[in-house]
Amino acid sequence: MVRIYHNNRCSKSRATLALLEQQGGPVEVINYLDTPPTASELATLLQQLGMTARELLRTGEAEYQSLGLASLSMDEAALIAAMVEHPKLIERPIVVANGKAALGRPPEAVLAIL
């Protein structure tokens, strides 16, 4: 099963979902703004992505500035907590397959884990 953390308002997310559907297998779509990952799930996703929480943050969001997330004093746990509380801070889309994860930027990047 392939899982995508999806935001239908995002063109990259829509393109990645279309690419996954073209592959023909089942796809579990998680609208992460409605159903955000828990801190534990997000920590697992980060490990699968090989990224830090800071690398997964959307720095252009208003919450990034208002929560002071640019501060280097914010540790991994604090950044994860901010993303759980404000899921629009999570870069998207994230695709999980075969125990690995990939960021769909560009959408074709997810093909490597299928």
Return the pLDDT at 79.
98
CATH code linked to domain 2-113: 3.40.30.10
Confidence of residue 47 (pLDDT cuts 50, 70, 90): very high
Helices assigned H by DSSP within 2-112: 11-22, 39-49, 53-56, 62-66, 76-85
CB atoms within 10 A of CB 110: 26
Return the pLDDT at 55.
97
Query: Mean pLDDT over residues 84-100, rounded?
Result: 97
The single residue of 2, 3, 10, 49 carrying the catalytic annotation is 10
Say if CB 62 and CB 70 are below 8 A apart.
no
Query: Mean pLDDT over residues 26-45, rounded?
Result: 97
- pTM value is 0.94
Confidence of residue 11 (pLDDT cuts 50, 70, 90): very high
Q: Is 101 a catalytic residue?
A: no
What is the pLDDT of the chain when averaged over all its residues?
96
